[in-house]
Amino acid sequence: LLAPMTVLLVFVAACWMTVAGYSSGKVTVSCESMLPKHGGHVPSPTPSPYEIIVDKINFNPGDQIKVTLSAPAPLATPFKGFLIEARDAANLNSDAVGTFTLVNPSVSQLLNCGPTQGSAVSHTSADTQVEIQAIWIAPQDAPHSVQFLATVLEDYSVYWAQIPGPIVSQSGVAPPSQLPATTSAGTTTPSKLLEPFSSEGCGRNMSCLRDPVGCDPGSDPRCFFLSFTHMGQTVQFQLSGPAEGYVSFALSFDKWMGNDDVYLCVRNGDLVEISPAYAEGRTHPELEPEGVLTDVAWRLSDGIIQCSFRRNIHIPNNQNRFNLDERFYIFLAHGTADFGVIHRHNRQPLISTKEKVISGMPENLSGSRSPLIIKFHGALMFIAWVTLVSTGIIVARFFKLEWPNTTLFGQKVWFQVHRGLMSLTVLLTCISFTLPFIYRWGWSKRAGAHACLGCVVMVFTILQPLGAVFRPHQGSACVATVAAVFLGMQQQALLLETPLCMGITVGILCWGAMAALLLELHERRLLKWGLQTYFHFFLKTF
């Protein structure tokens, strides 16, 4: 009895210490993401009832700024917990900047977030408050602009994360555009980004979708990158990629393009235009007013387009702007543009492998540019016509005399093997032929000659079992299939590394042709005669 009681007491003590730890404000574990570790609870999607104000908007190194976190009237919603940090306004995923001193140590305490001591302020107990004040001291190496952020807990399960506060700038530095913490999104004048984006913080305090997987837009010029960070009642997006005309992303309820919430970063000369749009069906997206986007900024360097903006989680009376607290598939696309007018994307879009709540917990997302159903189409056709057909032809051509009397289920072995391989070819071809139509729900106008040759192959495949009268010459279907295979490797939906795959395919076909040639020489006794002649000549010469 003593042992179970001991285990129970230890368990209760551990739980009490965990709860006490959170209520005491010792939340350094949340410094990076500013998200409380509260058993899977997500930030509230409703507008924050709290605000951050400062007593000055300009500073010099060493200056002090009073920061006030409050629940203004008329709601005056009290809060039980909070975490306040100051971060580089140009990179909100960076470590906390500067240090704080306390105004009332009985209700607030200092935390060490990152390498700097006293770089954050949190609560000391679960007692409710309606206002907290602290003094921020600007460091000697302060960035040009600093933004204050706060995570505020009304109770254990209801909280608002990274509520954006005012941006303060060093004297003589023009402040970047900012979104007030308690207002809804409005228009802002686009500004230039000072530095490239970074993947630092992906999966910890922001969600990221990247191609290639794990790339960093700050160092990899081939990196297509989308990140989004939940900040209070808004979400901040960062989009980057090498493109001649535009990069874009879309939010979709399914993996089909159409009826999607689209955002475009389009190059127009030496400028980048950032616009929301809506794609109705598989049509050109229609641009919409930019008023729903704020904190708009962009950067254009060495053929890489980067843009960032922020928008509210909910935008009332606008059905084309989806609520960001719902689940979506994410599309990432790019293409060319002329004078700000975009053209169809020149690669298959990158589509996230699963749905994601945009305002949800930070996560590293994965995606694919090639639908699985198209991969099956290519694999089945390759197996059927490059492997099974060639083997079946070799068996029928060269093994009749090798197995003249051996039978299997009442038929000669070579015939049973040949018939089995060809029957399997017909089955795989029929299955594979239907997959693109299932994917497209009809005929694809962009498949080109590959689709036409595929239909020719299908006709020959159906006619083959009908009998010798309707059977085409044995090489006709194979020639059409080989041509269709090479054309299929260039399809956008399959997304193969064309030079490598082309070389492998040519190698396999050459191997099959070489095997057939050697068997033909062997059957005609030419191989043995040739080897004897060669060795006779070799011995006579040396």
Structure tokens at 246: 């535009």
Note the pLDDT of residue 476.
47
Residues in the chain: 542
Interatomic CA distance for residues 313 and 100, integer angstroms: 31
| pLDDT per residue rounded down to tens, the chain (542 residues) | 444 444 444 444 444 333 334 567 778 888 888 888 765 567 777 778 899 999 998 999 999 999 999 988 777 789 999 999 999 988 888 889 999 999 999 999 999 998 889 999 999 988 999 999 999 999 999 999 999 999 999 988 888 888 999 999 998 776 665 443 333 333 345 677 888 899 988 998 899 999 998 999 999 999 999 999 998 889 999 999 998 899 999 999 998 888 899 999 999 888 899 999 998 877 778 888 767 898 889 999 888 999 999 999 999 888 889 999 999 999 999 999 887 788 887 778 899 999 999 999 999 999 988 777 888 888 898 888 878 888 887 777 777 776 777 777 777 787 788 888 888 988 998 898 888 888 777 776 666 677 777 777 778 777 776 653 444 444 444 555 555 555 555 554 455 555 666 666 677 667 667 776 666 666 655 545 555 554 455 445 54
Task: Provide the β-strand partners of residue 202.
Answer: 206
**Nearest alpha-carbon partner for 302 in 346, 229, 244, 224:** 244
Task: Provide the β-strand partners of residue 311.
Answer: 235
Interatomic CA distance for residues 338 and 524, integer angstroms: 64
- The pTM of the whole model exceeds 0.85: no
Q: At 391, give phi and psi (nearest 5°).
A: -65, -40
Look up residue 226 and give its amino acid.
L
Interatomic CA distance for residues 538 and 542, integer angstroms: 6
State the Cα angle at 74 between 69 and 77, rounded to 5°. 50
Structure tokens at 322: 């989806």
Q: How distant, in Å, are the alpha carbons of 389, 471, 479, 518 from that of 475? A: 11, 11, 6, 19
